[in-house]
Amino acid sequence: MSLFKTLAEKPWETKGVVGGLRPEGVFDSPNEKVTLNFFLVIASVVFSLFTVSYFIRMELPDWQPLSEPGQLWLNTGLLVLSSVFFQWARNIVSSGKQKNLTTAFVGGGVFAILFIAGQLMTWESLQGQGYYLTSNPANAFYYLLTGLHAVHLLGGLWVWSKSSMRLFAGAEAKDLKLSIELCTLYWHFLLIVWLALFAVLANT
Amino acid sequence: MAYVPLADQDKEMEMHHPHSWVEKYVFSQDHKVIAIQYGSIAVFTGIVGLALSILFRLQLGFPESVDFIDPNFYYQAVTMHGMIMVVYFLTALFLGGFGNYMIPLMCGARDMVFPFLNMLSVWTFLISIIILMASFFVGGGPTGAGWTLYPPQTAMEGTPGHDMGIILMLISLAVFIVATTMGGLNYAVTVLQYRCRGLTMMRLPLTVWGIFVATILALFAFPALLVAAIMMLFDTLLGTSFFMPAVIEAGTPLDHNGGSPILYQHLFWFFGHPEVYIVALPAFGLVSDVLSTHARKNIFGYRMMVWAIVAIGGLSFIVWAHHMYVSGMHPYFGFFFATTTLIIAVPTAMKVYNWVLTLWEGDIRLNAPMYFAIGFVFTFIHGGLTGLFLGNVVIDLPLSDTYFVIAHFHMVMGVSPILVLFAAIYHWFPLMSGKMYNETLAKWHFWLTFLGAYAIYLPMHYLGFLGVPRRYYVLGETDFIPASAQDLNASITIAAIFVAAAQILFFINIIWTLKNGKKAEKNPWGSASLEWQAPDLPPKHGNWGEDLPTVYRWAYDYSVPGAHQDFIPQNTPESEEPTVDEEHFDPDTDESKADV
């Protein structure tokens, strides 16, 4: 859809049915996918605003950067694997096959659960080292940003668990195609968000 | 479940037809019922907000006579009035109420894209209201920090509701944002994906354009409030210092240290300014359609009106710091925001010119919706012009935090949108209820509200010039404020009570009409837009009967030369267009056939 072309139309001049069977400008995607894309933009705004707040707060004199645990690299690897498995599942349903679908789709979710468990371990490790939530804004931001990211993953896992149950109940690949595509898109998005957050946390 | 085929979609839309009274009126998935639920909850909350305003006006007008209003309650009333009116009343009524009712009907759709999500949205909204109202009943009462909830005072001992009140307010806002996001996703995707055959974006009525762009703004602006609310909840509940600086409270240092209250202000106003347009843009759209229909003329400069809505929407994200000139910003920063603020006045002024030019030489029908719509043009010009003063840094500094600011924003985003709400409710009431309201009562309602609103807000500008500060419980002895200012305050309070009482006429009219009103004829205003062309009045679940409509023209074919009636509905093909001289109609030139 060309925004400028649309806005340049002169509707008072044209009469009759235009646009064939559907009006011009409709996205050629399922409504669920259009809605998820909108949601991803909203989630991006939320994470961006937290990041901007992080940079502004960082400038104030009481900021003491915390040393991020090395385990974050391992956790990042788990989330990458999670995304890879979801992409694998997506490729399987796109080609109309069924083989290995359960392994790929369920595996993707399991790696995400392991990622969240890993994140909780970093929390515990930081607490053990005396990096408490209230002792410094850098700590507070660490817990807040990682927590918020994990909450988004948990939301995705809720949808994933519903689709997994359908898969175990014998649902066919074509019936789960949209669900798996949306999960994959969401997981890739959360991987990108995590990589950006990790880059910010590790370099400041 | 029954399946109703959609002509313009590849797949069938699942319609959830109700099987019981509860499914039809309580847990309904019909966008029209949800709209009325949204509207009723918002209006109830608005009445609470209105009642609070009368209470604090009594204190301001007659400080010696109202012993039951102490300073704490005064601040709580002012705070809750502001937040209720801006967020829980106006936003909810325009988007949740009119957005829900109008979008599917004006788009020729059977319902929203996700009816279940829509139902979830209204119930989540109700939960946010329950949480908000609960703050009146907890220890310490609701927050009295001012509707902007600036830290650190929100969490300070001296501020009423600094413990539970502010927490409930923040949680309520977060829940409201979840509700708005669920609703907003539905509105935006329905406009983009669910328009019927032939209905291009540029054939949409301006009502849909206004609500659509306001929805996009809401989806992208409310996250800033969510981020601010989450961080403030952390500060209040868990003891972090995102916003809370080092503070000494009654001689005791608090645990917070080094936070930035200015950061909160930036986040709040990054939401707060687009919020003005989240309220204003739907009002712009609705009033455009009311003016055009009752002037029997196409809206002047339709494309420019759409462009202006889009431009205002975009610009609204880069003007937020004009609310913060007194926070001590860099002069260049202030210069930038003053410039963008003045630029946003250009598309806004274009809209005003176009409304006036729509009326110019129109066949104006002065009925109640038109009264309110023309009244809006007046109040919006007045409120808009004072905005030009406040948008400039050097003029804003002395006027900041005075009654001039109160007068400005009440005229521009209080009175003006509310006049549009009444215009829209009277205009679409026959569609929503199938009954015709009492015209005389509605006109009385208009005059009392319109003149009363001026009696309230015009003198407030003078109080502002005198330097009377806002948010003061009593004025006391102040050298630069003459004693006569108090007389003006008393007259404002009397006018406010008068205007509040006048709203009873509106409710009497609505309730009486619903019970005893005469049946409205189909399309009583002779409107060309699609919502009036539904086969039933009011439209039934699924809106369009067996077949979805097909659109052949834009929504503003009024007084078309050669046509035998002064409007041509959007779903009338050219071949069926009633003309004065039907003998000369040539079917070979019928474009609709060629295009199909």
- pLDDT grade for B174, boundaries at 50, 70 and 90: very high
For residue A22, tell me if it sits in a domain: no
Mean pLDDT, rounded, for A112-116: 98
- pLDDT grade for B94, boundaries at 50, 70 and 90: very high
* Whole-number pLDDT of residue B7: 42
At position B509, the amino acid (one-letter code) is N
Q: Read off the pLDDT of residues B50-61 as tens digits, 9 standing for 90 and up.
A: 999 999 999 999
- Please tell me which residue of chain A has the smallest CA distance to B209: A7
Mean pLDDT, rounded, for B77-102: 98
Contact of A22 with chain B, judged by CB distance below 8 Å, is answered with yes
Predicted confidence (pLDDT) at residue B202 exceeds the cutoff of 70:
yes
Predicted confidence (pLDDT) at residue B2 exceeds the cutoff of 80:
no
Contact of A128 with chain B, judged by CB distance below 8 Å, is answered with no
Q: CA-to-CA distance for B333 and B327, rounded, in angstroms?
A: 12
Contact of A132 with chain B, judged by CB distance below 8 Å, is answered with no
* Whole-number pLDDT of residue A1: 57
Contact B202 A19 (CB under 8 A): no
Nearest to B411 by CA among B448, B369, B371, B378: B378
Contact of A175 with chain B, judged by CB distance below 8 Å, is answered with no
Mean pLDDT, rounded, for A71-97: 96
Tokens linked to A81: 């694997």
Mean pLDDT, rounded, for B493-497: 98
Contact of A11 with chain B, judged by CB distance below 8 Å, is answered with yes
* Whole-number pLDDT of residue A172: 86
In chain A, residues 43-62 whose CB comes closer than 8 Å to chain B: 45-46, 49-50, 53, 56-57, 60-62
**Full domain range(s) for residue A89:** 31-203
For residue A85, tell me if it sits in a domain: yes
Q: Read off the pLDDT of residues B17-48 as tens digits, 9 standing for 90 and up.
A: 777 888 888 899 999 999 999 999 999 999 99
Predicted confidence (pLDDT) at residue A24 exceeds the cutoff of 70:
no
Q: What is chain B's mean pLDDT, rounded?
A: 92
- DSSP secondary structure of B73-121: HHHHHHHHHHHIIIIIIIIIIIIIIIIHHHHHHHTT-SS-S-HHHHHHH
Cα dihedral angle (A29, A35, A40, A41), rounded to 10 degrees? 90
More confident residue, A14 or B1: A14
Mean pLDDT, rounded, for B71-93: 97
B557's enclosing H/E stretch is: none
Q: CA-to-CA distance for B390 and B323, rounded, in angstroms?
A: 9
Contact B198 A56 (CB under 8 A): no
* Whole-number pLDDT of residue B578: 64
B45's enclosing H/E stretch is: helix B31-61
Least confident of B524-533, B554-563, B583-592: B583-592
**Domain count within chain A:** 1
pTM for this prediction: 0.94
Cα–Cα–Cα angle for A126, A128, A133, rounded to 5 degrees: 50
- pLDDT grade for B14, boundaries at 50, 70 and 90: low
Predicted confidence (pLDDT) at residue B596 exceeds the cutoff of 90:
no
**B358 and B290 in contact (C-beta within 8 Å)?**
no
Closest by Cβ to B227, choosing from A9, A46, A62: A46
Neighbours of B326 (CB within 10 A): 11
What is the value of ipTM here, to two decimals? 0.94
For residue A16, tell me if it sits in a domain: no
Nearest to A172 by CA among A163, A185, A181: A163
Contacts of B553 in chain A (CB under 8 A): 11, 15
Q: Is CATH 1.20.210.10 correct for B28-204? A: yes
Q: Structural domain boundaries of chain B?
A: 28-204, 213-246+255-365, 373-520
- DSSP secondary structure of chain A: --HHHHHT--TTT--S--STTS-TT--SS-HHHHHHHHHHHHHHHHHHHHHHHHHHHHTSTT-------THHHHHHHHHHHHHHHHHHHHHHHHTT--TTHHHHHHHHHHHHHHHHHHHHHHHHHHHHTT--TTT-HHHHHHHHHHHHHHHHHHHHHHHHHHHHHHHHTT--HHHHHHHHHHHHHHHHHHHHHHHHHHHHHHH-
* Whole-number pLDDT of residue B370: 98
Mean pLDDT, rounded, for A15-22: 74
Contacts of B552 in chain A (CB under 8 A): 15-17
Q: CA-to-CA distance for B419 and B429, rounded, in angstroms?
A: 15
For residue A121, tell me if it sits in a domain: yes
For residue A23, tell me if it sits in a domain: no
At position B341, the amino acid (one-letter code) is T
* Whole-number pLDDT of residue B34: 97
Angle between helices B261-295 and B302-315 (to 10 degrees): 170
Predicted confidence (pLDDT) at residue A196 exceeds the cutoff of 70:
yes
Tokens linked to B436: 């015709």
CATH number where A174 lies: 1.20.120.80
Contact B224 A62 (CB under 8 A): no
- Please tell me which residue of chain A has the smallest CA distance to B305: A7
